[in-house]
Structure 1
Amino acid sequence: MKAAIYHIFFLFITTIFSQLLNAAPGDQRFRLVDDGVLIFPDQRFSPGIRTVKVQVVTDRILRVIASPQEIVAGNNLVVTLAIPAGKFNTSVTDSSITIKTAGISATANLFSGAVYFSDASGRTLFEERKSGGRNITPVIWEGQSLYRLQQSFELAGDDAIYGLGQHQEDAFNYRGQQVILFQNNTEVAVPFILSSKNYGVLWDNGSYSKVGDTRSFLPLSSLQLFDRNNNAGWLTAIYRNDKNKQQEIAFEKAESVIDYAYLGDTKMKLPADFAIQKGSVTWEGAIAGPRTGEYKLRFTYAGYLKVWIDGKLLFDKWRQAWNPGAGVINLPMEKDKKKNIKIEWIPDGGESYLTANWLPPADPGWENAFSFDSEAGRQIDYYVVAGNNMDEVISGYRELTGKAQIVPKWAMGFWQSRERYKTQAELLNTAAEFRKRKIPLDNIVLDWSYWKQDDWGSQDFDSTRFPNPTAMIDQLHKDYKMQLMISVWPKFYEGIEAYKKFDANGWLYKRNIADRQRDWIAQGYTSTFYDAFNENARKGFWDLIHYKLYVRGIDAWWMDASEPDILSNVSPQKRKEQMTPNAFGTAAESLNMYPLQNAKGIYEGQRSVDPNKRVFLLTRSGFAGSQRYAATIWSGDIASRWEDMKSQISAGLNFSMSGLPYWTMDIGGFSVEPRFEKPNDADLAEWRELMTRWYQFGAFVPLFRSHGQFPFREIYNIAPEEHPAYKSMLYYNKLRYRLMPYIYTLAGNAYHHNATIMRGLVMDFGKDPVVKNIGDQFMFGPSLLINPVYTYQQTQRKLYLPAGVDWYDLYTGGHFAGGQTIAAESPYGVIPVYVKAGSIIPTGPEIEYTAQRSADPLIVYVYAGSNGSFDLYEDEGLNYNYEKGAFSGIRFEYNDAARTLTIGDRKGSFSGMLQSRTLYIQLVKPGKPSGMDFKPSGRKVLYRGKKLVVDLEASR
């Protein structure tokens, strides 16, 4: 009987598939169009998807759209490329259609519409999951019919994933991890992934999204819980009303949920008899899970949080309450086997945050899945970019979203800032002290609250503290040769004149006003932000800062709170309410794109009134495409702790590998633990070492800037002149300026060749499998391997020298073979830096600011062991003439076998270009070590723009 039933079922399924397979090509399953193919999936295999389009963008970029209806136009905020009908070939089988270009191909299943992608050689890159890989679910947002969009991909077993903006959980390879795309202070959402298989995916959606392992984290209560007496079902919660008196327990409770996620939660949910202002809570017991594998324990926190598993401290974090952080413990567990857990929380005052959630191992069959899950949109819409290497993939991303403008040359120098210079005299005295001490500096920053207390948004200086801002800026320019960057928020206090004008024009978000929400200044003021999606509002905001600030001589813009942080620590739902209505449509769709539009308004505004002065924007948040608006993003109000310094390495790398080349951080961290504000001798010693190590790291990221809360961050305020901290920070500041010919070339290459400045090792050494998960080392440009020291009192740094090339110690010239892990000496004042064999590094004279003198003479260091080349880039440094061809390039080529350096004919020209210069060429080779000491030695030549071949082994 069973056999008969199985036979009938088999015949039924065979008949269905036979009918489908034998369907004629003209049976409406697909239609070729000028730029690709439209596929009309069978609803039995792709429910809810009526149309799938595979569109050819270029010979290495394809676009996939999946729609529940007809294909609709994109939002046009992110992708700026005018997409022509590219060249492609097609081939059809009974079940699939393949589109092939010179650099990429896509094969779509004609029944389900699922697509898989291959490179030019036919090697599979990745594919949409065949079963359950695509879901479009109707939703309603703000009265409009939209869709929740979910797309899952299947990755190769050895694939690794990077990018997605900037996040603080100290994860580098995002495979198997979950990333939330929601703009927040310290979190930057960029929906672009970069694969170690040399492809990228740009997910064209601006809504709140989960990426990677997109399953919802579960409450702690859904784990197997045991209290400290082994009772099942809960943990033991121990409340103390004085954190300093651990023996005095106020009360104990059985608890199985820890959930104080957003503003107001602790007031509503914590026991009324708990003294949160000065108390602590400890949860003790054990956890167990339903199957063997890697679990994820995710915490958000403010205050101090420590987590022990089986007695081992695995999580030790701190954040101020106004800016909570997050972190994940990846925890291997065996089925039903208990692990002891202890969670200790010391809240930060009366309003604090803590959540504890978890994820089990991936379900069977989903181990290689990688997904996007966006809560609002009109259709699935993503771009696939293929390349021969990661740089080509990033180049394709910028082809889609815009080139990265070259920053003004001064921006590659050092910036000094603090929170904050309160008076005109304080700022000018700081500038004078830097010049007096001959500490190199190009840019000084005036942070928020230069206005009167009740006048936020006016962009007017408080005349009692800044009596003559125009003269102040003029003095900075003329006497101190410094630029001034100023903080501008998209924020307006209710009732000021600017607010009234914007309100009358309908340019403001009004929900925060209706809520009567006060900010943190004095007694608190009601405020809101302008609608950056409104073209007229953007122009109005530019006009305001133009006539109030730019005409005074302002050089650059610090665009704070650009998430928009209308009210900190609110839920995504509350943020959407605060951004409703907006000119884009629904806040749900546009949630993450505010910083892109905010930057656009200022970039286009400045170029409209001063078209040849380079715009420079420093913004706390960004999105895909921000690079085209001259935006540099910094990592927000991070904490001043060692673990926060370490997490900036992977955060900066993933941001850079998201396609945006300019990133920076507050050297030393922004938020300071109370113990460092009034330190004892031990805490002062740790503070100075932390600042020193962070400064060493900061000298080798794209933008080099110091900023933070008290204690003051100027070198001379951190330590006295004879202290090793002072000496080290001054050394790396001067080293940065010596390297300016190399560094500014990196900036030029970011525009002209779509290059990346801060580089994960996998970008340059992708054939070495060891580097895929190394997120605490990086390449600064093509030549310098940077290895930050991020542990207190550490004097040796374990690091990996990538295989396939030899390496040299920057300071001694010591030679090392690649493919090995070493324990590098890293005394207090030194960060280990290694130079790749074959590198050519031009260095300039000692200077105090970038425009002080031309790079003459050049001391050029050549590192033997491999052939190499370097194209020295130069232009006028401050304007956009490079867009018109006003720049020069000098190619250096090293032949290792012949030991010759060929300096090619200079290509191009610009106003003020050196016609001739002296070069000292130093060959660094095994057996003859020499460090980068900047002594004018080696082969001396006079270069007049014509080709020279220099024999580096010839007698001198």
Structure 2
Amino acid sequence: MYLKHRLLLGTFFLFSLQAFAQSYQRTSLGVKATIQSMNVEVQFYSPRIVRVLKSPEGVAVKRESLSVIKLPQQVPLTVSEQNNIVTLKSELSVVQLNLSTGKVAFADLSASPLFTEKDYGAQFTPIKDADNATYAVRQAFLLNKDEVIYGLGQQQNGKLNQRGQKVYLKQENTRVCIPFFQSVKGYGIFWDNYSPTTFSDNVQETSFDSEVGTCLDYYFMYGGSADGVVAQMRDLTGQAPMMPMWVYGFSQSRERYKTQFELMDVVKKYRALKIPLDGIVQDWQYWGKDNNWNAMSFDSTTFPRPQNMVDSVHNLKAHLFIVSWPGFAPQTKQYQEFKSKNMLINFDTWPPNANTKPYDVYNPQARDIYWSYLNKGVFSLGIDAWWLDSTEPDHINIKERDYDQPTFLGTYRSVHNAFPLMHTKGVYDHQRATSSAKRVILLTRSAFAGQQRYSANTWSGDVSSNWPTFKRQIPAAVNFSLTGLPYWNADIGGFFAGSFVKGGGAKNPDFQELYVRWMQFATFTPMMRSHGTDIPREIYQFGTRGDWAFDVQEKFINMRYHLLPYLYSTAWNVTHNAGSIIRSLYSSFGADKQGYENNTEFMFGPSFLVSPVTEKGSKTQSVYLPAGATWFNFWTGEKYEGGKSINQETPIEIVPLYVKAGSIIPWGPEVQYAAEKKWDNLEIRIYAGANGEFTLYEDEGDNYNYEKGAYTETTFKWDDAQRSLTILDKKGSFKGMIGGRKFNLVLVKTKNGAGNQLSKAAKVITYKGKQQVVKL
């Protein structure tokens, strides 16, 4: 009996050693271990950012990210082990690695759980990717039952909260697919894989499942808030440079201007009507017929004097976008050169039946060749901005073998989702190397993580002209911003407007209503741009002054220009402080859970709450005012306490717009283009009811001298109790900056609940860059 008991004890002891005596190894960035026939490595990139790498045992992994550019820093860590759990603690976060199951879990310093994998949640399924033996990779996680998450790029599902979704993340027109989400618990997850990936969330688990991957690779970011997570994502994947001031004005486009004379006529008409305009866009076929698709040169019949066209646009104080595609027709020189060097990806792209093929954007030499043609044929003429269309890219007559096609970095399947990132990289890097006189502007139809560093402004694609599609653009824009990319826009009125043609096109009252409401929304997005097919969208197509469809457009285009000092300063906050222009209610009011799933409203910068009218024939609209602030109706000055919904009348000339108490709004002059007048006599609107601060940013308007410190910041601080505004010493300098200037200080008040009444106690002061305190 005694001997049997000893044998049982010995057997249990040996089993215990086998079950729990797993080992781990310290590394310069964290720890690594082999668990369940799987290599697991935890790497601290900063006290807030942690990378998790997993791969099958025996598989060598040497991986350089296309999205991540941050180099890991040496992070002081406390590492301990207890009960087969390795705990790594930085000054800001805690990570635990289970040596038995391979599960990685994350917590804050108070040991409150933030995010966790499932036990045994990693999967590696052997597959053949073309002729390459590799894996499909999957990782499952566990979220709290009521946890709200945002992101995934730009989806057209109409939802803000992405819980309960199964989304196939593969780039396509109207859908920008980025395997990233952030949580209201203050963390973000970036799944660093470029193959088509299924994101799934259900009651059992949340998972990423990628079709191709030699390893499982993701980043955990602890930001503490929406803004904090965005800042960490930018730290990881790159900051967004400043765009020129003019691009924040109004741009006009059409599918398409057929001659240079047609394009010039549009600019001339805007100037004659005194309607503000800064950008004009030339869409496709300026190169001639489709068999010359994307030749990057102007057809001699329809664009006989392209240099004269560019110069004329500039003489009228406007700027020119030119479209460029990633695919080439066989007749072009580019196609022939790329083909001879095996730098085409062999599938059909737009247009159909033209045998057009995309170039290998993943090949640095191919990107060099692409720019050499673009520079010689177009940029050398003085073009101001690029419209990079079809950056998903379009894929015609899809066949499964198309994804087996080789690229410089592997099969097309393995890198598909990063196509827009690499394409924009090529154009941005080459223009920066060619000239610093103009800031790069890339209007692009798709995006991937990190693309903000290439000065890309992504539009929502060729969406349809109808009210449900319009409504879906709001959560699409907000989720895109919460993914970490700050610049987004949409075709005003939607792209495909054919259903309105029979009713009179731009004179069709139904289309006019949709278009005007969409323009009101666009006034409060990072780019205000009119574009579409079937119906020309220039303001004069809708009527003349005195016609409501004309007058309301003019009102909101002018408003956009009044907002330029506010918007340009907000853009500086994007570049300088990793901020955002389009903001969720959660981003600004994280303590108010009623705003977490609000998919009809957003913040425009720090001060404006926007509730676009997205229902046909709407006469009133319910607007939720977040708790934690007092709100002013922008149009009437009426004041409301937050934390409740109100009904607002919505005549066609009004979009619900509220300003947070404590806001300081610089209100720009009336102009015909962004740089027409200096900001030497700005109105400064103050919304009392809370303390506030705003920094006015100014620079040379274009070029990259701001990167060398050529800019100024003027900070305004409002003390609500003292009713005083302090204007601090101006910081910095640049060539041509304003010396002495006037500020018209206005305290916004209500008068009988009607009209945006401004205090009669407004003061005009002269400011010469030295601190002043003004009582109001």
TM range (shorter): over 0.9
Deviation at 1:212, TM superposition (A): 2.9
Q: What SS does the aligned partner of 1:133 have?
A: strand
Deviation at 1:490, TM superposition (A): 1.3
Match of 2:81? Answer: 92
- Check conservation: 1:859, 1:934, Cα contact below 8 A: no
Cα distance in structure 1, aligned partners of 2:81 and 2:176: 42
Change (3 A) 1:705 1:736: same
Match of 1:380? Answer: 216
Among residues 187, 196, 202, which one is paired with 1:208 in the alignment?
A: 196
Cα distance in structure 2, aligned partners of 1:502 and 1:639: 35
Cα distance in structure 2, aligned partners of 1:489 and 1:781: 32
Alignment of 1:301-316 (within 5 A): none
Cα distance in structure 2, aligned partners of 1:139 and 1:104: 36
Match of 1:294? Answer: none
Among residues 21, 33, 37, which one is paired with 1:39 in the alignment?
A: 33
Change (3 A) 1:567 1:135: same
Change (3 A) 1:918 1:143: same
Deviation at 1:625, TM superposition (A): 0.7
Give CA deviations for 1:727-764 in whole Å, capped at 9, x if unaligned: 11111110110011100011111110000110111111
Determine if the alignment matches structure 1 residue 576 to structure 2 residue 398: no
Match of 2:361? Answer: 532
Match of 1:567? Answer: 396
Cα distance in structure 2, aligned partners of 1:14 and 1:831: 73
Change (3 A) 1:545 1:408: same
Alignment of 1:516-915 (within 5 A): 519-520=351-352, 524-567=353-396, 570=398, 573=400, 575-577=402-404, 580-674=405-499, 676-679=500-503, 684-915=508-739
Among residues 917, 924, 942, which one is paired with 2:748 in the alignment?
A: 924
Change (3 A) 1:17 1:202: farther
Among residues 188, 191, 208, which one is paired with 2:179 in the alignment?
A: 191
Determine if the alignment matches structure 1 residue 101 to structure 2 residue 99: no
Cα distance in structure 1, aligned partners of 2:115 and 2:83: 22
Change (3 A) 1:38 1:477: same
TM-score after normalising by structure 2: 0.96
Larger Cα-atom Rg: 1
- Aligned pairs, number: 768
Cα distance in structure 1, aligned partners of 2:568 and 2:62: 39
Among residues 16, 19, 23, which one is paired with 1:18 in the alignment?
A: 16
Q: Amino acid of the residue matched to residue 600 of structure 2? A: D
Deviation at 1:182, TM superposition (A): 0.5
Cα distance in structure 2, aligned partners of 1:936 and 1:610: 49
Among residues 215, 235, 245, which one is paired with 1:409 in the alignment?
A: 245
Q: Amino acid of the residue matched to residue 590 of structure 2? A: G
Q: What SS does the aligned partner of 1:458 have?
A: coil
Cα distance in structure 1, aligned partners of 2:516 and 2:760: 29
Deviation at 1:930, TM superposition (A): 8.2
Q: What SS does the aligned partner of 1:432 have?
A: helix
Q: Amino acid of the residue matched to residue 463 of structure 1? A: S
Give CA deviations for 1:446-488 in whole Å, capped at 9, x if unaligned: 000111103113112111111101101101101x100000000
Q: What SS does the aligned partner of 1:157 have?
A: coil
Alignment of 1:381-400 (within 5 A): 381-400=217-236
- Check conservation: 2:517, 2:614, Cα contact below 8 A: yes
Determine if the alignment matches structure 1 residue 141 to structure 2 residue 129: yes
Deviation at 1:926, TM superposition (A): 6.3
Cα distance in structure 1, aligned partners of 2:437 and 2:185: 40
Deviation at 1:138, TM superposition (A): 1.2
Match of 2:115? Answer: 126
Cα distance in structure 2, aligned partners of 1:21 and 1:510: 51
Cα distance in structure 2, aligned partners of 1:935 and 1:427: 45
Q: Amino acid of the residue matched to residue 18 of structure 1? A: S
Deviation at 1:635, TM superposition (A): 0.5
Cα distance in structure 1, aligned partners of 2:359 and 2:73: 36
Q: Amino acid of the residue matched to residue 293 of structure 2? A: W
Match of 1:455? Answer: 292
Q: What SS does the aligned partner of 2:765 have?
A: strand
Q: What SS does the aligned partner of 1:561 have?
A: coil
Change (3 A) 1:11 1:210: farther
Cα distance in structure 2, aligned partners of 1:525 and 1:922: 60
- Check conservation: 1:920, 1:937, Cα contact below 8 A: no
Cα distance in structure 1, aligned partners of 2:60 and 2:735: 50
Match of 2:158? Answer: 170
Deviation at 1:176, TM superposition (A): 1.1
Cα distance in structure 1, aligned partners of 2:730 and 2:350: 60
Change (3 A) 1:836 1:930: farther
Cα distance in structure 2, aligned partners of 1:397 and 1:561: 26
Q: Amino acid of the residue matched to residue 99 of structure 1? A: L
Determine if the alignment matches structure 1 residue 472 to structure 2 residue 306: no
Alignment of 1:196-275 (within 5 A): 196-213=184-201
Give CA deviations for 1:611-646 in whole Å, capped at 9, x if unaligned: 342111011111001111111111000000001100
Q: Amino acid of the residue matched to residue 65 of structure 2? A: N
Cα distance in structure 2, aligned partners of 1:915 and 1:837: 30
Change (3 A) 1:89 1:423: same
Change (3 A) 1:19 1:700: same
Q: What SS does the aligned partner of 2:519 have?
A: helix
Give CA deviations for 1:544-597 in whole Å, capped at 9, x if unaligned: 0100000111111101111121427x36x35514xx111011222101111111
- Check conservation: 1:794, 1:826, Cα contact below 8 A: yes
Change (3 A) 1:125 1:853: same
- Check conservation: 1:493, 1:528, Cα contact below 8 A: yes
Q: What SS does the aligned partner of 2:292 have?
A: coil
Change (3 A) 1:574 1:53: same
Q: Amino acid of the residue matched to residue 791 of structure 1? A: E
Cα distance in structure 1, aligned partners of 2:615 and 2:12: 64
Q: Amino acid of the residue matched to residue 287 of structure 2? A: W
Q: Amino acid of the residue matched to residue 468 of structure 2? A: E
Change (3 A) 1:680 1:455: closer
Deviation at 1:933, TM superposition (A): 7.3
Match of 1:420? Answer: 256
Match of 2:322? Answer: 486
Cα distance in structure 2, aligned partners of 1:567 and 1:483: 33
RMSD: 2.2
- Check conservation: 1:125, 1:156, Cα contact below 8 A: no
- Check conservation: 2:746, 2:759, Cα contact below 8 A: no
Cα distance in structure 1, aligned partners of 2:357 and 2:550: 42
Cα distance in structure 2, aligned partners of 1:680 and 1:744: 38
Change (3 A) 1:80 1:501: same
- Check conservation: 1:146, 1:376, Cα contact below 8 A: yes
Cα distance in structure 2, aligned partners of 1:57 and 1:928: 57
Deviation at 1:607, TM superposition (A): 1.1
Deviation at 1:659, TM superposition (A): 0.4
Match of 2:338? Answer: 502
Change (3 A) 1:672 1:803: same
Q: Amino acid of the residue matched to residue 459 of structure 2? A: W
Deviation at 1:671, TM superposition (A): 0.7
